[in-house]
Amino acid sequence: MLLLTRRQTMFAAIAASLAGRPAFAQSAPAKVRIALDWTPNTNHIGIYVAQAKGFYAAAGLDVQILPFADTSAGTLVSNGVADFGISSEIEALMQCAAGGDVKMVYGIVQTETARLIFKGGRDDIKSAKDLDGKTYGGFGGTWESALISSMIRNDGGKGEFHTVTLGTSAYEALDNGSVDFTLEIYTWEGIAAELENRKIARFHYSDYGVPDEQTTVIVSSDAYLSANRENARAFIQATRQGYAYSVDHAEEACDLLISGSNGALMNTELVKASQKALIDGHYLRSETGVIGTLDPAKANALGSFMVENGILVDANGATLKEKPDFSTYFTNELLG
């Protein structure tokens, strides 16, 4: 009887010491930082959905969405300030060629969302060759010049035009006649213009011989990926889950994006119309069901076009003469 009492006392003491403790030790969530390329918009919707629906938390991640800054997301990633960043395929190719530690790891959009635009109803602009000698409102990038010149030449023109730096919105510049044409991201800026009942005409780049591209991508760095492979894989797969959910549950996804933007998104109509355009146009998920995958053929074609037009430069600023191995600029391994 005494032995039983002692055992009971011992077990009771052990139970008391363990009270309130978990059955097993739980490690803290891994912190992951992703930098945005602009203020929150529907290109980012899968990230906000993954955050709000707990997809990141379920993957053991504590994800911090870094606000848009003057420094590009790719540069922040290359310098270790962010682990992932939203970028464009064009910018990523340029940074990789110049020696930046940048690697594309997720294709947010599956086909080009940008357009060349001009005021609708103009009788003097029927096709790209009619832009010869006219005024372009832009930002002075080498990509813009090569893009527009190629479109005009491929349509039988000389590829010569004037460039001014926009001091107002592109659409106001078109309306007041200070420029004849400019560029837009259709799935956001273009949708906003349509909601404002602006009369805009558009040319698709690919209709004039410019390679299609995956306009918006997620990038990381080899330094981060080599040291954090499993966290990176978990992040990309949870992100893809977020984008897939945003396609299948558009209304809810838009609400989550708006609420997660901390007041940056006030135009609910624009957010929902933009997401509808992304879904209907098969930008976030292709007609064949592809979501997130980076297309090697598109990266190679776009990269080759940039080499041919003198856009890519090396770490010393010298124009690339030979085509690099573009397959080293991206990976789809994290999706599997």
Matching fold, domains 30-111+214-328 and 114-208: yes
Sheet holding 61-66, edge to edge: 61-66, 30-35, 84-88, 216-220, 103-107
Read off the tokens for 138.
């832009």
| 240, 335 Cβ separation under 8 angstroms | yes
Residue type at 213 in one-letter notation: E
Q: Which pLDDT value is given to residue 23? A: 43
30-111+214-328: CATH class: alpha beta
pLDDT in tens, 199-233: 999 999 999 999 999 999 999 999 999 999 999 99
- Mean per-residue pLDDT, 155-160: 98
Burial of 23 (0-12, 13-18, 19+ CB in 10 A): exposed
176: enclosing H helix or E strand = helix 170-176
Of 162, 292, 173, nearest to 235 by C-alpha is 292
**Rounded to two decimals, what is the model's pTM?**
0.91
Fold category of 114-208 in CATH: D-Maltodextrin-Binding Protein; domain 2 (3.40.190)
- Mean per-residue pLDDT, 35-56: 98
Q: Which pLDDT value is given to residue 8? A: 46
Q: Which pLDDT value is given to residue 26? A: 59
How does residue 140 score in pLDDT terms, banded at 50, 70 and 90? confident
Write down the domain spans for the chain: 30-111+214-328, 114-208
Residues 6+ apart with CB under 8 A from 215: 88, 89, 109, 111, 112, 113, 114, 185
How does residue 244 score in pLDDT terms, banded at 50, 70 and 90? very high
